[in-house]
Chains A and B, each alone.
Chain A
Amino acid sequence: MLLSELFLPVLMVMFMLTVGAYVVAVLDRLIAGAFGAPQAGRVWLAPMARGAWLMTQHANATEAPDWQAWRLAPALYLALAAIGLAVVPWSESLVATDLVTSVVLWGSVEALATVVIFLHGWSANALLALIGGYRYVALGLSYILISMFVLIGVALPAESLQFTQVVASQEALWNVIRQPLGLPLFLIVGLGMTFWGPLNLADSKDLAGGTASEISGPPRLVWDVARAAMLVAFSGVAASAFLGGWMGPWLPGPLWMAIKMLAVLLVLLLLGRVLPRIAPERCVTLMWVVLLPLSFIDLVWAGIGALL
């Protein structure tokens, strides 16, 4: 009982956190190299060398930070990524936590991420970090709303808020085809929620790293791992909600899931390398004026589909 309901799920999530963050780092380097970024040494070794460097570097101080919040925020973000990974089903039975409300739990992860990212920026008591935090809060609500509408859309045909049921409901037709607006909208939400690439407004270059501009050493390592792990968790949720999860011919379910997660990850990382960072004002307009109404349409489409 203890083994199957506590130790194994925890081990599984830890494994996914570690391997997932490493895969993200390697893939991102490979993509950057393909686009012409200078590369030195072996790509597979680079993330480990970076991790080792951050482990040996001291965690610095700023003037009068909110110490508890500042140190806790990266760990909290990592914990949120772990919660997200815990609800991702790898097969009908291989899922760390098969909650009947796992879709709702993922929604709460998205909402709490806003709090944690702001906390990270605010608690450093430094200017650029604070602006990064402000920016995320200004945009976070729009991401969450779109995400919720899209996820309710996939819950309707499943008549369940459980990811395993959402996957099972796609046996005849994947949601990516049944609800064509859903996945593109959800991918944009993913870039925003994980503040990656074009929607990296919280930790951006114009803020010298934003909420992470003042951190070094182990806290930075935790923050970087948490961001990568959140991207993996998001890919898992996207693959479950729209790409039929573990379903597929010939190969075992977990392998199909891994392939689909990798595909989503590749798309997100690729977008991160080819698009410029969107201006915050344009981003707000895009979210509220274009994407939010589209998510309404997606929901109505899903509702009509469920009724027919």
Chain B
Amino acid sequence: MAVNWLRKLASHKRAPVFPVLGKQGDKALRYLALSPEIELVDSPRHASVLLIAGEVPADRLEPLRRVHDQLPDPFTTLWFRNEPWPHLENVDRIDDLTDLPAALTKAHRELMTGQRDSGCRILSDRPPNPWKGEGDFGQGGEGMMGGVPYGRPMAMNMQEDISDGLTLDSLTFRLGPFFMAFPPGMAAEVTLQGDLVQSWETQLEPYPQRLDAVFFNARKHPVPIAEIELARARHHLQRLYHALHLAGLEALSLSSLRLAHGLSTSSTLDGLRRRLVRSGFFHLAAVGGGVLNTEQARQFGGPAARAAGLADDLRSHDAGYRRLGFSPVCQDGGGVSARWKQILDEVEQSLMLARQAERDEVYTNDVDCIETPRGPWDEQPPEDASAILDEILPGLEWGDALATIASLDIAAVADRGGGTQSPGESRAVQGGSGNVVK
């Protein structure tokens, strides 16, 4: 009786969902972030529903199995635009984004009220690697050295400290491809000394990202500059959402996302920028590191390069943009703080260009080379830049390293468009909280 009552009460909780992002799954993540019925959690241990959003490539299936088995009982899974594994029972597939919050809530409620059985484990409950440690506790070898118990290197003081002289045991581990602070699909092997990144090796590149369809259309024929600039600003604001969420500024991150969803030529950035500056984001948060040198910045291109002082922007060569009096905005510094200031400036500039272009009905002129929000696209779309992390992250503290990753748009651009925001999505977002930022 008491248990039934407890379960009934538990079913009223917002559905705690851990999202595993497959290809183009980040769209679902951003949509759910604004859903009042859904609580997105950062650890699979804190969820009752595992959402697999988008196609997960074959080389990420083993980590997916491990994440699946980390959810505590009772749990269930829901597959969005992806075919569920055949051996899983009572598992739903959803293809319409607007149906997703209701499906997740239903799954959670049924789980709590006992109408749905908890998911079954996929992996056997034994260590994934054989015991290769020496001694009873893997401490083996000489003194406290040696051994790779369960396939993991022991924490050992084998590397010279690269920062403050306080030498701690090095700890090597693999993280990703579903770690929420990484770009979707990315995995890395990291060595830490305490909180300090000693070495970083990107092992799996993030999935290529699909930009708004307008950028692909712009490669085929002239498109309205108002449309392309709004898509650019939206892209930047969506990235800002992830960074602010990571920095612990939940309210501002959601404001950024709402602004992105409801973006129009009448939108302004003033309110968000003012709140961001007043929050102390540029002084208190982990925005001090991640400086790109000139060569790295040039290799990266786009806003990251302009944040390092390089005034490279293909829009400067386009007759349509020249008619609007466009000139690239730049920062100097090239670090995390400079990149976010650059992004804010570029969003503001895009909104201004969009207003002017809408009024004067200006179209792009060049089709063979365009400036995407990720960087220049002339012969090839912008390529993956995750290898650059191996150079710039060592020496940073963990929080600074993650803030650096969030500030860099490292994923390659896929050669197919991702479509524009669906009307249903837009409606749901505006109706979700009744708080539309203009």
A-side residues, CB < 8 A to B, are: 32, 35-41, 45-46, 48-50, 52-53, 55-60, 63, 127, 130-131, 134-135, 138, 197-198, 200-201, 204-209, 213-217, 220, 273-282
Contacts and interface: CB of A to CB of B under 8 A. Distances in A.
Contact of A36 (B171, B244, B251): B251
B35 interface: yes
Given A36-B433, A60-B45, A279-B287, 9 more contacts: A38-B254, A39-B36, A53-B48, A213-B43, A216-B46, A279-B284, A279-B285, A279-B400, A282-B288
Given A35-B251, A56-B112, A276-B285, A134 B195 contact: yes
Contacts of A278: 284-285
A270 B372 CA distance: 39
A37 B288 CA distance: 28
B281 interface: yes
Contacts of A60: 45, 70, 72
25 contacts: A36-B255, A36-B435, A40-B14, A48-B9, A49-B12, A52-B13, A57-B73, A63-B127, A130-B171, A131-B192, A138-B194, A138-B195, A205-B42, A205-B246, A206-B181, A206-B286, A208-B180, A209-B46, A214-B45, A220-B45, A274-B251, A277-B247, A277-B285, A279-B285, A279-B288
Contact of B45 (A48, A52, A201, A216): A216
Contacts of A37: 250-251, 254
A213 B9 CA distance: 24
A143 B6 CA distance: 39
Contacts of B284: 198, 275-276, 278-279, 282
B195 A131 contact: yes
B288 A275 contact: no
Interface string B1-35: 00100110111111010000000000000000011
B279 interface: yes
Contacts of A63: 127, 150
Nearest to A272: B248
Interface string B187-216: 000001011000000000000000000000
A200 B247 CA distance: 11
Interface in B272-307: 279-281, 284-288
A53 B112 contact: yes
Given A45-B12, A56-B74, A277-B248, A38 B399 contact: no
A278 B3 CA distance: 42
Contact of B247 (A55, A213, A276): A276
Given A277-B285, A280-B195, A208 B179 contact: yes
Nearest to B105: A40
Given A36-B254, A50-B13, A198-B248, A206 B46 contact: no
B245 A134 contact: no
Listed from nearest, the 6 A-B pairs whose CB atoms lie closest are: A35-B251, A277-B248, A279-B286, A38-B36, A52-B9, A40-B36
Interface string B238-271: 0000001111111100110010000000000000
Contacts, number: 162
A127 B191 CA distance: 11
B432 interface: yes
B326 interface: no
Contacts of A49: 9-13
A52 B254 contact: no
B70 A53 contact: no
A198 B43 CA distance: 20
Contact of A58 (B73, B112, B281): B73
Nearest to A41: B12
A207 B181 CA distance: 9
A213 B45 contact: yes
Contacts of A58: 72-74
Contacts of A48: 9
Contacts of A209: 42-43, 45-46
Q: Point out which of B6, B14, B181, B432 has the most chain A C-beta atoms below 10 A from its C-beta.
A: B14
Contacts of B348: none
A215 B255 CA distance: 30
A46 B14 CA distance: 8
A220 B72 CA distance: 12
B178 to A, nearest CB: 11
Contacts of B48: 53, 57
B397 A279 contact: yes
B279 A275 contact: yes
Contacts of B248: 197-198, 200, 204-205, 275-277
Interface string B55-94: 0000000000000001011100000000000000000000
Nearest to B45: A216
B43 A38 contact: no
A276 B72 contact: no
